[in-house]
Amino acid sequence: MRKYLLLCVTAMLLVTQGAWGKRFEVSDGKFLLDGKSVQLICGEMHYPRIPKEYWADRMRRAKAMGLNTVSAYVFWNYHERQPGEFDFSGQADLAEFVRTAQREGLFVLLRPGPYVCAEWDFGGYPYWLLKDKDMEVRSKDPKFLAACKRYIDRLGKELAPLTIENGGPIIMVQVENEYGSYSDDKEYLAAIRDMLKEAGFNVPLITCDGAGQMPNGYVDGALPTVNGAVGEDIIRSIDRFHKGGPYFVAEFYPAWFDVWGDPHSYRDYHGPVKQLEWMLEHGVSISLYMFHGGTNFEYTNGANTNTPRGYDPQPTSYDYDAPLGEWGNAYPKYVAFREMIRRHLPESTTLPDVPANNPVAGFAEISLEECAPLSAAFGRRVESDTVLTMEDLDQDFGYIHYETTIDSPVKGMLEINDLRDYAVVLVDGKQVGSLDRRHRQNRLPIEIAKAPARLEILVENVGRVNYGPDILNNRKGITRNVVLDGKELRGWTITPLPLYKAETGKFKFRPGDLTGQPAFFRGTFVMDSVGDCFVDTRGWGKGAVWVNGRSLGKYWNIGPQQTMYLPAPWLKKGKNEIVVFAMENTGKRTVRGLTEPILDSLGDDPNAVRRPKRDMSKTPILESGDIFLRGTMTQQDGWQTFGLDNTVTLRHLGLEVLSSYDDAHSCLSELELLDADGKPLKKDAWKVVYVDTEETKGNEGYAEHLFDGDPKTYWHSQWQGKRKAFPHRVIIDLGEISTVGSVRLRQRDPKMAGNVKDFVLYGRPQFFLFE
C-alpha cells in the first residue's frame, strides 16, 4: 500500500506545483512524466457542449476539484459536415480548447474516435456516410476507412503540434471507443491505430472497453484501459492484457444521462466517493464520465435502441448529474469528490479555491406577438415521385417536410413506413395528428372529405442512434414509403429544414397568431443585467428555441427538462430577440427567463400508449368446439401461413399459446386473418377484449401490437416481475362478423426470447363466455 500512496503523492505534487513536462510514456507498470510516476485524475468535458466563452471557466473548476487532466472526445460530424469540408473555427476550434487546457495547467487525453458514442448523434459519425447504402461504417470497408483517414489526417494537422512531445498538453490518444462492445475485428482496430500514428500523434495510445468486452477491443500497440470497473476488478481486468499496469479506469461513472420522457437521472455520491477513494489509494488513474456534461446545442443529441421502448433519444440538456452541472454549477457531488481528492494531497499542498458560481439573471414573462408559418423556412424544394430521406438531400440535423396532393376523398389508415422519428401530419394546413417512434407509432386514421387536398408530413430527426448495431440503421425522415388506405402515395415535394443555424433571421414575421399548425413565434425581452438564464418552455408542446440567432436546442413538454439553458455570453444588456418554433402547436404564446433550471419535471405525453383498461376479474371459457386451427410455428423470420380446410365465420378470435421455444415466454409480432381469396382483413376495428399476460413496462408488449401492422412491435408475455405459466391467451373482437380462409403469424426475431411454438385458435360469431 505504501508504494501506491507514494505514487499518489508524487502525482499530486507534480500537478499542484504546476510542473509540465516534455515526455509522457508508459513504462514499468506506471505512467511516467519526464521519468517520474504520475497518477491521472481526469474529467470528461466536451467542447461543443460548453459555450466557447466558458471553456476556461469550466477548466478552472476542474482544477479546483483536483483534476489534472481533461478527457475529451472529438466529434467528427462537428468538423466535417460535408465530405472534405472541414471547420475548426469558433465553437469548433478544438486546438484552442486544447490550448486553453494547457493555460489552465491541465493535461489532455484526446479521444478522436472516429466513433465516440457520447450520447451524440450517430456516435459522432457524419450523416453523409449513410448516403452510400453499400458502405458499412465502423468496419474495414475500404470506402469507410478512406473517409476515416481523411478525417484523422486533418485532425493531425490541427492537434499533432499540441502533443506533449511537441510542447503541448496532449499526453495520450485513444484508438476508437468501446469497440469491444460492437465487434472484434482486429484488422479494423489496427487500421485506426496506424492512422493516428501516421497523423503525427506521437504519444501513447490506449483503448477503452468494459471488462467483459476487453478481449474484443484490445489491439497491440495500445494500452488497454477499462470502463466502469471498480475495486479489484480494475486490476484483474487490465492484468489479462497488460500485467502490472498502469491501471486506468477511462470511464468512471458517478452519474448517468437522461432520456426524453423519463425522470432526471440522479446517483447518490456516497458510493462513487468510496470508489474514488479506493482508486486514489491504490494508484489507479481515473477519468470521471462526466465531470461536466453541458448542453446539446443545435440538435446534436443521440439515441439508444437497446431499451424496452426500442427508441430512447436523449434531451437537449446533458447535465448528466455530473459533479459540475449543466451551467457550471457545483453539485454536492463536486464538493464530496473535491474533499476526497484534497485528503490525498501531500502535506503543505492545496487545491485552488473553487470559483464562485457565475451570475444568473432572469426576465419577466413576455408574449410572443409576431408569427411566421412553417413555409417561411422553406428554401430548396425537391420534386420526387417517392419519398427521400434527409441523407438523400444532404441534410444532417433538424426537420424535413413532405407534401403531396390527395386527388379524391378517402377515409382510411395513413401509414408512414419506417418513420424516423417524429411526425406531425397536416391536411390542408391543419394538424390532424402526430406519430412518435418512441411508442412504435407509424399509423394514423384520417378522413379527407373534400378533394383535392394537401397532405403534409413534417418529420423531425429526434436523434440518430449512437450505440449498438443500429448505428447502421440511422437514416432519417421517411425511410420507406407512405401508404393511405392501402395505396402508396407518390408525387412528393420535399423540403429540408435543418433549422439549427440562424435561419430565423431571414423569416418574415407579422403581428398576429397561427393555430393548429407548426409555426414560428417571435418576441423580445429586456435584460437589466446579463447572467446565465433558463428559458421556461412549460406549456409549449414540442419544438426549438433561438435567442439572438443562437440555437438553444429543442424542447419537449414530456420532460424531464422544462427549461433551455441560455448562456450569459449569448445575451445582451437591454433588448434580446427570442424565436420559438412550435412543431406541436399547443397555443402557448408566453415565455419567461428563470434563474435556475427545471431538469426533473415530466409533462403529459399525448402520444403515449395508454394502458388499455382490462377487466381481469373474469376469465374466458374456451371450448374445444370453437377450435378452428391447431398449429406449430417454426423459428424463422417472415410470415408463416396456416391454411384452413374450410372457411370459418367469426367475430371473436381467441389465441392460446401452448408452448414456446424457450419454454418461458410468448412473443408474436403480427397476426393477420385472410379471407377466402387470400386478402388480409382490415384491422381498423379490432380490439383486445382479454389478455392474461402482457409486458406493459416501457409500453413494450401490449396485446394490441399483435395487429398494429408494424412488424417491429410485438405482444410479449410478462417477463419483468412474476411470469405466468402456459397457456397464454389473447381474445380479439374483430368488430364485425368475418369469413376467414387462412391465418398468418409472424415471430418477432428467431434469435430472441419467446418464439411461439404450439398454438390453438378459437373462433366465435358471438362473444366468448366468461366465468
For 214-363, where are the alpha helices, taking DSSP H only?
Answer: 214-217, 232-239, 270-281, 332-343
Question: Could you tell me which of 376, 713, 659 has the C-alpha nearest to residue 514?
Answer: 376
CA distance 124 to 111: 11
Interhelix angle for 55-65 vs 332-343, to 10°?
Answer: 50
pLDDT of residue 771: 75
Give the CATH number of domain 375-497: 2.60.120.260
Query: What is the SS3 assignment for 387?
Result: coil
Q: Do 265 and 290 contact (CB within 8 A), yes or no?
A: no
pLDDT of residue 7: 41
Provide the edge-to-edge strand list for the sheet that holds 574-584.
Answer: 510-511, 370-373, 519-527, 574-584, 542-547, 550-556
Has 104 been annotated as catalytic?
A: no
pLDDT of residue 616: 67
* Residue 96 host element (H or E): helix 94-103
Question: Could you tell me which of 740, 747, 631, 621 has the C-alpha nearest to residue 677?
Answer: 740
What are the per-10-residue average pLDDT scores of the chain (771 residues)?
Answer: 39 45 94 96 98 98 98 98 97 98 98 98 98 96 98 98 97 98 97 98 97 96 96 96 97 96 94 96 97 97 87 97 97 98 88 96 98 96 98 97 97 95 98 94 94 98 96 97 96 96 83 97 97 98 97 98 98 97 97 98 89 73 93 96 94 96 95 95 89 84 89 90 93 92 96 96 86 75
pLDDT of residue 420: 97
Q: Which residues, 6 or more positions from 458, have their beta carbon under 8 angstroms from its beta carbon?
A: 374, 399, 400, 401, 402, 423, 424, 426, 518, 583
- Active-site position among 178, 298, 326, 700: 178
Q: Do 577 and 524 contact (CB within 8 A), yes or no?
A: yes
Give the CATH number of domain 363-372+501-594: 2.60.120.260
Q: What are phi and psi of 162, to 5 degrees?
A: -105, 15
CA distance 225 to 208: 5
CA distance 506 to 522: 12
The structure's pTM equals 0.86
Q: Which residues, 6 or more positions from 339, have their beta carbon under 8 angstroms from its beta carbon?
A: none
- Other C-beta atoms closer than 10 Å to the C-beta of 64 total 16
Instruction: Domain ranges for the chain, please list them.
Output: 2-300+310-343, 363-372+501-594, 375-497, 620-770
CA distance 456 to 477: 13
- Active-site position among 80, 251, 298, 656: 251
CA distance 506 to 144: 37
Q: CATH says 620-770 is which class?
A: mainly beta
CA distance 490 to 512: 35
Question: Could you tell me which of 142, 124, 126 has the C-alpha nearest to residue 134?
Answer: 142
CA distance 581 to 586: 11
Task: Determine the straight-line distance between the first and last CA of the chain, rounded to whole angstroms.
Answer: 71
- Write the burial class of residue 771 (CB in 10 Å: 0-12 exposed, 13-18 middle, 19+ buried): exposed
Has 704 been annotated as catalytic?
A: no
pLDDT of residue 12: 47
Q: Do 298 and 545 contact (CB within 8 A), yes or no?
A: no
Report the DSSP pairing between strands 41-44 and 69-73: parallel
Q: Which fold has domain 2-300+310-343?
A: TIM Barrel (3.20.20)
The beta strands (E) that lie in 130-240 are given as 170-174, 205-210, 223-227
Whether 2-300+310-343 and 363-372+501-594 share one fold: the answer is: no
What are 395-421's pLDDT values in tens digits? Answer: 999 999 999 999 999 999 999 999 999
